[in-house]
Every structure is written in C-alpha cells, then in structure tokens.
C-alpha cells in the first residue's frame, strides 16, 4: 500500500510539473482494495481495471519504473508510450488492461474468465470498476451474462461514493452496489474497503471458489477517494475531510495501528523505489514517430 501511496503522490507532483501528461486519476485512499485483491492473485489471473488504474497495475506486479515511464509517455513504458495513465496494460503480469470508458471492459473480464474455463485453466478473472459504472447498460448486460454462464470472475466495485463529481445518491436510488446485483443470485459482499484485512478475507473466499470453477462474485469495497476525480480537480462538489477524519479512514494508518507498527521503513523504501522509477522514466527516450504507425495492426 505504501508503494501505491508514494507512487500516486509523486505522480500528482509530476502532473503539476507537467512531466506526467494527460488525464490522471489518482487512487490515494483506495490502496487497500488494490492490495487486498491483487495480493491473492497469480500472474496468470487476468485483471482489468478502470481509469483509476495505477494502484491495480502496481499491485498486480507491473514494474513501477515502466508504469512511471508510461505516464511520462516514454518508450520504456509498459505500453511503449502508446497507452498512458488510463490504458495501462502489462500482459506479462496478467494486467490485461485499464480502460478510459467507464464500465467498458467489464465484459472483457467475462471473456477472459470464459477463456480460462474453455482452456481448462483454474485462473480467476477480476475486474475493478467504480460505483459510477454500475449505472451503465454494459454493467447490467455483463452481470446477467456472468451469472447465466456462472463464470469464474470477481467483480470488484470500488464504491467511493462519487461518480466523477457527483455523489452516488444523485445518480441512483440504490445505495449499495451489492443490492443492484441481488436478483441474479450469486454471492456478493460489501466490505469496508479501507480495511485491507477485510478486503482480503472476503476476496480470498471468492478467489478460492472461483479457482474451483464457481462464479461470479461481487465484492463491493466501500472506500474513499482522498483526492479529486482527476489531478487538478478543484473539488467544488464536496467538502474536504478534516485531518483527524482522514486519520481514522486512511487504510495505511489503520493497518499500521492494527499491527502496532509505524511503517516508516516501508514508507521510506517505497519513496526510494518511486524516485528510482522517476529517474528511470526521465532517462527513457520518447517513442519514435514510426511506432504509432507500426502498431495499428498486429501481424
């Protein structure tokens, strides 16, 4: 979690310094979901993510320096500089991709789950999405199909209470995402998404069952996005948390309190790793202009 926190905070600085480019969505405050879920997965478990993807990619094993290089648009980025923050992919670690279209890759995770079954593997597909995705038609289509075909997929909703700039209550009358999928009859659970132990405990049961071919499952993680929707968001739509409120919520501080550790060494190591990643990324060249034309089609 410290790796994600340190990475995201540094990316925020680098965005303001115009070294990281484009639309950048940080996951500070939501680290427990990425860590709690991805820590249970193998490299061959396909994972899909949304526009707020850095933490998921790192937790799934994507090399930090190549993620940082990608955010800076460099040739050594995981996507060679063609993807960017919202479209991270690291196939070697089963991170099959983030998407900038809310809800757009939920059915892709179903397809990967079905592929695993048809190929006789015990892999588990996971897709992360926010509560904003739940109001889209593709979510309903996907939930129906996942349930109908009993696919070994875990739908992980990071419910941070805000769809972009609007509170969930302004978009839907259904407060809990786990209630949205209730009629489909599969197992679902809502957990405190800022409690990494709770996330891990609930998800481990789902992962184990999905390895045995069961599914689908929905894990709703109630969490809190500490920052704005995107980096630079003035956040006129909500009140900032008081520092003491955040102290209570912060998933990293909570874990440290529970374990009775101060975490300073982990934080230090994480920040050093991030600085090394920044150095790597800064030294990486920008892609050649030919690259774009070369990668429109696979050969």
Partner 1 sequence: MTQTTYLQAITTTLAEAMRADPSVLVLGEDVAEGGPWGATAGLVDEFGPERVRNTPISEAAICGVAIGLAQSGLRPVVEIMFVDFLTLALDQLVNQAAKAHFMSGGQLRVPLVLRTQGGAGQRGGAQHSQSLEAWLTHVPGLKVAMPSTAADAGDLLAAAIADPNPVVLVENKTLYFRREDVREAEPAGLGRARVVRPGRDATVVALSRLVPEALAAADELAADGIEVEVVDPRTLVPLDLETIVGSVARTHRLVVAHEAVRSGGFGAELAAVVQEAALDELDAPVARVGAPFTPVPFSPTLEDAYLPGRAEVVAAVRAVVGG
Catalog residues that contact partner 1 under the rule CB under 8 A. Answer: 46, 77-83, 87, 89-91, 96-97, 99-101, 104-116, 118-119, 125, 137-138, 141-142, 144-145, 148, 292, 295-299
CB closer to partner 1 out of 119 and 242: 119
User: Minimum distance between the CB of residue 260 and partner 1, rounded to whole angstroms?
Assistant: 42
User: Minimum distance between the CB of residue 276 and partner 1, rounded to whole angstroms?
Assistant: 22
CB closer to partner 1 out of 276 and 292: 292
Phi, psi torsion values for 186, nearest 5 degrees: -100, 165
User: Minimum distance between the CB of residue 54 and partner 1, rounded to whole angstroms?
Assistant: 16
Q: Is 125 helix (H, G, I), strand (E, B) or coil?
A: strand
Among 119, 128, 117, smallest CA distance to 214 is for: 117
CB closer to partner 1 out of 6 and 151: 151
Burial label for 206, CB within 10 Å (0-12, 13-18, 19+), is buried
Beta carbons of 125 and 215 less than 8 angstroms apart = no
CB closer to partner 1 out of 244 and 290: 290
Q: Is 47 helix (H, G, I), strand (E, B) or coil?
A: strand
Q: Is 293 helix (H, G, I), strand (E, B) or coil?
A: helix
CB closer to partner 1 out of 73 and 193: 73
Burial label for 60, CB within 10 Å (0-12, 13-18, 19+), is buried
User: Minimum distance between the CB of residue 126 and partner 1, rounded to whole angstroms?
Assistant: 12
User: Minimum distance between the CB of residue 268 and partner 1, rounded to whole angstroms?
Assistant: 32
DSSP state of 90: B
């Amino acid at each position: 979690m410290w790796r994600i926190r340190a990475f995201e905070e540094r990316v925020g600085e680098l965005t303001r310094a115009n070294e990281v480019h484009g639309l950048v969505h940080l996951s500070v405050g939501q680290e427990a979901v990425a860590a709690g879920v991805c820590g249970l997965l193998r490299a061959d478990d396909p994972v899909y993510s949304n526009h707020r993807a850095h933490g998921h990619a790192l937790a799934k094993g994507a090399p930090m320096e190549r993620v940082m290089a990608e955010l800076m648009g460099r040739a050594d980025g995981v996507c060679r500089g063609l993807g960017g923050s919202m479209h991270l992919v690291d196939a070697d670690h089963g991170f099959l991709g983030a998407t900038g279209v809310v809800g757009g890759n939920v059915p892709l995770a179903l397809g990967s789950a079905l592929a695993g079954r048809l190929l006789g593997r015990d892999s588990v597909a996971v897709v992360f999405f926010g509560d904003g995705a739940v109001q889209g038609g593709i979510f309903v289509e996907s939930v129906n199909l996942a349930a109908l075909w009993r696919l070994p997929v875990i739908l992980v909703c990071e419910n941070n209470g805000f769809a972009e700039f609007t509170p969930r209550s302004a978009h839907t009358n259904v407060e809990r995402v786990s209630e949205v999928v209730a009629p489909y009859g599969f197992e679902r659970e809502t957990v405190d998404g800022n409690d990494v132990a709770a996330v891990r405990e609930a998800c481990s049961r789902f992962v184990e069952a999905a390895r045995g071919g069961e599914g689908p499952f929905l894990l709703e993680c109630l969490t809190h996005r500490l920052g704005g929707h995107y980096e630079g968001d003035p956040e006129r739509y909500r009140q900032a948390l008081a520092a003491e409120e955040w102290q209570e919520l912060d998933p990293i501080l909570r874990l440290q309190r529970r374990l009775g550790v101060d975490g300073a060494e982990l934080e230090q190591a994480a920040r050093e790793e991030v600085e090394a990643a920044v150095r790597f990324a800064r030294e990486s060249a920008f892609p050649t202009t030919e690259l774009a034309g070369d990668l429109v089609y696979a050969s």
